[in-house]
Chain A
């Protein structure tokens, strides 16, 4: 066992999968330039020395390289595309939404599209175009799987599962959880490192996990918000409120079984997500739980999310934007 950060385990997962399967390759901007940074967050640093022909640096052409990844995937390759910031996914919306997500269905199930799109999310001192959380938008695109790891252990196991999956997987990584070191480290980072076993393992896509057991209220959160929820649960336990924290780890498919069985027990639900509240991930979970569990709920489902504004630059304003422990405490206190 050794303690590793998310940036380190993602690099290890890519290295191990490329060594295991020569159909796996990486493609994206600035990922393998000698003297460069290994992508915007050091994840692919040095991999070009081992896999020179399977680290494909592209021009700045997000729509283009997502289409290239699709073409290669249709031919049986297993590309892992690095989209420097999830905000840039919007440049590639046609390839992602119209092509990648629909190709299998349009073919009548004859084709498979085994590709991974890695995309960093989170409001992190970069303003409105490098700090979004677009996970919720992609919930509306059947055909994609969506993964959101909050810990290094899960990041490694989920990336391996995503690479081995025969479907397109959107793999969201939070910038404050990478644990990147040196000049590429992020102010305000949260330690998401884990003890990583030396042997090969996967974390199945679609399986959530109970991070903390409790009896009074269930909190569902992913990525950075999972860590905020854990911190809030500590505070609440001192106030005598027992919180169960669930990290679904994947948004599509979603572990409804885990969430609904928890809510049946606690009878209360708070969903915490970064990104605009309206039409977001929390809205979907809230709606479905309300549909399924009206007879169990003893209080209305609460959504904690960003306000419906772009992510602002000023640290003071960003604090308003990004949900934190105080907002979670307030939401729980409203219903317990």
Chain B
């Protein structure tokens, strides 16, 4: 496939934005400046960016307890996201959601759903509404390898399949459900094999290759739009940070981890851009610096933003 330079640079920029956002947040959290707990996606950027590059602005995604990358890739801004992580009224959920529930439906992202697998039926219902109203829109459910053994996953994918709904189920397989390795939780080799049980196509792609992810999502989107129903996409990736908080990842074998870091998506994509002469190192460096400025501005404004008033706790429950 031929891609424009703008498109490729856009993918790179988004992946760098997610990586540096996550790294900055990790630092703020370890410093004790940021409240709560965090689940981060360093190493998994190509899945969020590749899939969202295949979507339109009015397509809708659901996400998980590890949602920062999905939010940035779908267009929830750095500032409303950072403000939310600080629990500020100016955050994308007015400080009521926090890290595990970031989202903005105006940008096509349901507040992230932090119960594993629970987003699957919700995405199916979103797609049902598109089908009932004959709207040419897609729902995309980002979920993880840990979700495939939840009942909600089974019920949700099955309903998407029997009704031929315009929905993509994207399993971000980072090989660990918290600390539990995937091979101890399933007997199939590829999680995409599960698709055959629902009578829908399933594909396994290199989730650290942003263009491979994009192409599989694009193909699935075209199929869904033409009435072909859902696709199960398994994107193989690796989390090169802890599951949450201060997790030192002692359960990840050292050799496995080293190999995974060598295959991480941003460095790989940078090499492609350089070897195809799409960009030179100076341009890539400039993107990094621009992204850093954007993130620092967001951190500064978030820390200066007012906290919610205590009585705000009682608002926003009922319409």
Contacts and interface: CB of A to CB of B under 8 A. Distances in A.
A304 interface: no
Interface residues of A, number: 44
B111 A65 contact: no
Nearest to A79: B125
Interface in B109-156: 110-111, 113, 115, 118, 120-130, 132, 139, 151-152, 154-156
A71 B139 contact: yes
A68 B132 contact: no
A145 B317 CA distance: 11
Contacts of B139: 71
A279 interface: no
Given A70-B122, A74-B126, A166 B319 contact: yes
Contacts of B316: 104-105, 107-109
B94 A108 contact: yes
B129 A143 contact: no
B122 A106 contact: no
B129 A110 contact: no
Contacts of A12: none
Contacts of A66: 121
A105 B101 CA distance: 11
A255 interface: no
A148 B155 CA distance: 29
B125 A71 contact: yes
B129 A77 contact: yes
A53 interface: yes
A106 B97 contact: yes
Given A67-B125, A72-B128, A167-B318, A58 B93 contact: no
Interface centre among B121, B128, B139 (most CB of A within 10 A): B121
A240 to B, nearest CB: 44
B113 to A, nearest CB: 6
B93 A110 contact: yes
Given A64-B155, A112-B319, A74 B132 contact: no
B129 A71 contact: yes
Interface stretch (A91-99, A180-188, A217-225): A91-99
A111 interface: yes
B54 interface: no
A109 B94 contact: yes
A68 B156 contact: yes
A76 to B, nearest CB: 7
A165 B318 CA distance: 10
Contact of B315 (A72, A109, A166): A109
B40 to A, nearest CB: 20
A98 B91 CA distance: 21
B127 to A, nearest CB: 8
A76 B105 CA distance: 12
Contact of B122 (A67, A108, A114): A67
Contact of A67 (B129, B156, B315): B156
A183 B127 CA distance: 37
Given A105-B317, A111-B111, A166-B319, A58 B129 contact: no
A76 B126 CA distance: 10
B96 A67 contact: no
Nearest to B163: A56
Q: Which of A25, A58, A74, A104 has the most CB of B within 10 A?
A: A74
Nearest to B167: A71
Interface in A83-105: 94-95, 98-99, 103-105
B116 to A, nearest CB: 10
A242 B139 CA distance: 60
Given A67-B121, A67-B122, A112-B319, A106 B129 contact: no
A56 B96 contact: no
A68 B96 contact: no
A59 interface: yes
Contact of B152 (A25, A94, A104, A167): A94
B85 to A, nearest CB: 14
Contacts of B231: none
A61 B158 contact: yes
A202 to B, nearest CB: 16
A76 B129 contact: yes
Contacts of A110: 93-94, 104-105
B118 A68 contact: no
Contact of A103 (B92, B111, B315, B318): B111
A290 B32 CA distance: 45
Given A67-B121, A107-B97, A167-B318, A94 B128 contact: no
A25 B133 CA distance: 12
A75 interface: yes
A54 interface: yes
A74 B113 contact: no
Contacts of A111: 105, 110-111
Contacts of A73: 125
What 3 pairs across the A-B complex have the smallest Cβ distances? A71-B125, A67-B121, A64-B155
12 contacts: A59-B158, A59-B162, A71-B122, A71-B126, A72-B129, A76-B129, A77-B132, A94-B115, A109-B315, A110-B94, A112-B319, A165-B319
